[in-house]
Amino acid sequence: MSKLWATFASLLQLQLLIVTVAQAPDLPEGFPKCKRDANFDKCLVDAVNVAIQLLKPGNKEFGIPPLEPLSVKKLVIDAGNAPITLRQTLKNLKVHDMISTSKIQRYRTDLNKHLIICDSKTDRIEMIGDYEMSGRILLLPITGTGKANITLVNTKIEHRLIGEPYEKDGVKFMRLKEYRVSFDPKRVYLKFENLFNDKTLSEGMNRFLNENWEVVFNELKVGYAKSFGIIFRGLSNKLFEKVPFDSIFLS
Ligand SMILES: *[C@@H]1O[C@H](CO)[C@@H](O)[C@H](O)[C@H]1NC(C)=O
């Protein structure tokens, strides 16, 4: 009896130990870490490339949803600059391929200033969802509601993460107050079904939009970038607000 009790007690102890260890705030399992030394920026490229792929199915513990496809409930783009004045709402958006086909190429960091700049390349960002649009594109009136497919190919993305330090129970954390994104795609394919509620007009307009994709996307891209910046900031902060600064970036 006493022997059994001792075994049980030591098992309980082990269990408590495991629970304590599991609750220590640290990055998700398998995330490589980097020391803040001369090699830091290079180290971060490989570490974050591994981390992003690990996060692809999401992470319950950190409240991170599946990232592929990434679901976006609603995204509103106001493009107010002539020659385009346009309001575009995308709903129930699914963003495909963005994580699998992304590679970070370079980091430039200044952690003393809580600044992280990163260049990445994404082969394919396929956004599928419902759209509502009205306004003008290249002086032409455009209206419609229906299914949309906006696909960006070979996109260079610059990420600018601007953090601010704060303390929780005497421990330093960093949260991102801004996450700025800029997109530079090699090609954008646009498909808005049912423009003008008219098949022929819709086909003509879609052809026109794709022939002029560069001008059209130039007007839309600030809006897309703003929306993605907010999404990326939210996702990043799920990690930053749980894990102390010195556990993410080793001193
Ligand atoms: C979206 O458009 C791209 C580029 O034209 C195409 O390759 C892809 O198959 C389309 N996706 C859907 C679901 O139609």
* pLDDT tens sequence for the chain (251 residues): 567 667 666 666 656 555 554 455 899 999 999 999 999 999 999 999 999 999 999 999 999 999 999 999 999 998 866 665 889 999 999 999 999 999 999 999 999 999 999 999 999 999 999 999 999 887 789 999 999 999 999 999 999 999 999 999 999 999 999 999 999 999 999 999 999 999 999 999 999 999 999 999 998 899 999 999 999 999 999 999 999 999 999 99
Instruction: Flag whether 13 is in a domain.
Output: no
Decide if 2 is inside a domain.
no
Q: How many domains does the chain have?
A: 1
What CATH number should be reported for the domain holding residue 160?
3.15.10.30
Peptide bond into 141 cis (omega under 30): no
* pLDDT, position 84: 59
The alpha carbon of 195 and the centre of ligand 1 are apart by a number of angstroms equal to: 17
| Residue 197 placed within a domain | yes
Whether residue 23 is contained in a domain is answered as: no
Within a domain: residue 8? no
Q: Domain of 129?
A: 29-250
Model confidence, pTM: 0.88
Query: What is the atom index within ligand 1 of the atom nearest the CA of 149?
Result: 1
Name residue, tokens 């700025």: 180
Query: What one-letter code names the amino acid at 160?
Result: R
Could you tell me if residue 17 is inside a domain?
no
Among protein residues, the one whose CA lies closest to atom 14 of ligand 1: 149
Amino acid, single-letter form, for residue 143? T
Phi, psi of 218 (to 5 degrees): -55, -35
Evaluate whether residue 20 is within a structural domain: no
**DSSP of 9-45:** HHHHHHHHHHHHHHHS--PPTT---EESSTTHHHHHH
In a domain, 9, yes or no: no
